[in-house]
Amino acid sequence: MTAKLFKKLFGVFVFVFTFLVAPVNLAAEPFYLSYTYPGSIGFFKLKEIPKKAKVVVKAGNREYTFPVLSEKAYFVIPYGSKGKVFVTLYEDGKEKDRRVIKVARKKYRVSRIWVKEPKKYPPELLKRIKEEQKLLRTIFSQVTPKKFSETFLRRPLKKLRVSTPFGAKRIINGKKRSVHWGTDFRAPLGAPVYAALSGKVVLARELYFTGKTVIIDHGLGIHTLYAHLSKITVKEGQFVKAGQLIGKVGSTGRSTGPHLHFGFYVSSVRADPMLVLKSRL
């Protein structure tokens, strides 16, 4: 199948799919959502950039807010969502469009790994970890003007071979830990890593858990993360284009072997990178 034919068929699929998600308002905005699994990304297509707009996703007892700065109002169906999720577009505090989405069920595998770690973290290391976690929260919460023009995500590696998927339940050294918030791709040491979208490098340094790490701000609350690199080839503050070399595969930080950990975030909400790679932006 040619790329041109694929995009044409994909467009037909998205057009048909929009009618499977029930709109509450009769005057509904164009709406795109390729999948209804937890971690899926979607957006409302607006006629113009609205003022004081936001998308609110209500899943269970929690609400997730996605600020709107462009004619595309992005959102994510959060991990852990079950049953029905309500996606509402607001402008000037008024509800303009609301969709009711039935979340598709998805089973998540259990990932068991063994890594070297101290029996007790010394105070200086705990301080470093807390400072790095705070830094990441600050970065992912930033919503800046749009920096990309692509409508599909580029592959961060030439070949994508998943070793640990998004949402896997982690058991580290025999103990239950957090969920795996990205996708791990197997790759040889030194394999080139590419930017998935155009944007500004907002972090390019070594962190305790993720090793040599690059984070790119693509605007509109969208960020991508590339972790465990052996080498970083970009600098903080640098603007990169989609497909540009940003580093090389490694096993730095808390890692059991050469691979790329790839994360995708929208206003701090984690999305499933594999679903995003197959979705229209």
Question: Where along the chain do its domains lie?
Answer: 3-102, 110-277
- List the one residue out of 14, 53, 54 whose CA is nearest residue 34: 14
Beta carbons within 8 Å of 39's beta carbon, 6+ residues apart: 76, 77, 78, 79, 166, 167, 270, 271, 272, 275
The residue-averaged pLDDT of 189-214 equals 98
Q: Are the C-beta atoms of residues 196 and 213 closer than 8 Å to each other?
A: no
| Domain 110-277 is found in CATH 3.30.460.20 | no
Taking all residues of the chain, what is their mean pLDDT, rounded to a whole number? 89
The encoded tokens of residue 53 equal 């707009």
- Which residues face 98 on adjacent strands? 88
Identify the weakest region by mean pLDDT among 102-116, 223-237, 249-263: 102-116
Percent of the chain clearing pLDDT 70 (strictly above):
84
Residue for token pair 């103990």: 175
Q: Are the C-beta atoms of residues 184 and 261 closer than 8 Å to each other?
A: yes
Beta-sheet strands, E only, within 50-109:
53-59, 62-68, 72-76, 84-91, 94-102
8 or 23: which leads in pLDDT:
23
Question: Is the overall model pTM greater than 0.85, yes or no?
Answer: yes
| Domain 3-102 is found in CATH 2.60.40 | yes
pLDDT category of residue 172 using cuts at 50, 70 and 90 = low
